[in-house]
C-alpha cells in the first residue's frame, strides 16, 4: 500500500472522530438492496443476450457454411446429381409428393408453429411473472407493473 494513502486514511479517520454519528435514513437498506438487485438483473440479462447473440452467430455461420460449401463440393468435385444413380427419380418422387400433399404439409407446419408459439408464451409468462424484480419492483406510479404488462402481452398473443 502506498504510504501516502495510509497517511490520508489516518487524516480522514482523525477528522471524522469528532463528528457525531447520525441515524441512517429510513429505507436506505431497502433502496440499496433494490439497486443491487436491479444491477444484478441487468447483468444477468446482458450475459443472456450475449449468449443468445453468439449462439445465433454460430447458427448462421453453420447454415451459411452448409449452403455454400456443400453445393460447392458437390458440383465442383465432379459428383453431381446426374452422377448419382436414381437421384433424378428421387427428386421426381419428392416433387410429386409435395404437389399432392402440400395442404397436409402446411397444416402440419402451422400446427407445429402454433404449439411452439403457445409454449413460448407460457414460458415467457412463467419466467417473467416469477422473477424477484417483476414481483418486488413494479413500474413507476401510474403505470402497469412488469408482471401485468407481460400477462397482457400473453393475453394478446392467445
pLDDT level of residue 148 (50, 70, 90 thresholds): low
Q: Tell the residue number behind the cell numbers 413507476, with chain if given.
A: 140
- Of these ranges, 5-14, 82-91, 145-154, the one predicted with the greatest mean pLDDT is 5-14
- Output the average pLDDT for the chain: 76
Exposed, middle or buried: residue 150 (CB in 10 Å: 0-12, 13-18, 19+)?
buried
Cβ atoms of 147 and 134 closer than 8 Å: yes
Handedness of CA 136, 137, 143, 148 (dihedral sign): negative
What mean pLDDT comes out for the span 61-70?
A: 83
H-run or E-run covering 138: none
> What would the grid cell of residue 34 be?
433494490
**Cα–Cα dist 136/151, whole Å:** 16
Amino acid at each position: 500500500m502506498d504510504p501516502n494513502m495510509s497517511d490520508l486514511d489516518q487524516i480522514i479517520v482523525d477528522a471524522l472522530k469528532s463528528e457525531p454519528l447520525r441515524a441512517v435514513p429510513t429505507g436506505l437498506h431497502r433502496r440499496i438492496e433494490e439497486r443491487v438487485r436491479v444491477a444484478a438483473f441487468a447483468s444477468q440479462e446482458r450475459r443472456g443476450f450475449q449468449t443468445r447473440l453468439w449462439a445465433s452467430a454460430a447458427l448462421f455461420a453453420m447454415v451459411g457454411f452448409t449452403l455454400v460449401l456443400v453445393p460447392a463440393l458437390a458440383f465442383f468435385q465432379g459428383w453431381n446429381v446426374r452422377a448419382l444413380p436414381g437421384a433424378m427419380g428421387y427428386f421426381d418422387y419428392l416433387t410429386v409428393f409435395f404437389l399432392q400433399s402440400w395442404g397436409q404439409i402446411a397444416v402440419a407446419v402451422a400446427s407445429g408453429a402454433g404449439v411452439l408459439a403457445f409454449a413460448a408464451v407460457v414460458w415467457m409468462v412463467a419466467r417473467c411473472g416469477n422473477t424477484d424484480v417483476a414481483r418486488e419492483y413494479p413500474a413507476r406510479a401510474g403505470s402497469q407493473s412488469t408482471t401485468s404488462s407481460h400477462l397482457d402481452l400473453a393475453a394478446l398473443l392467445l
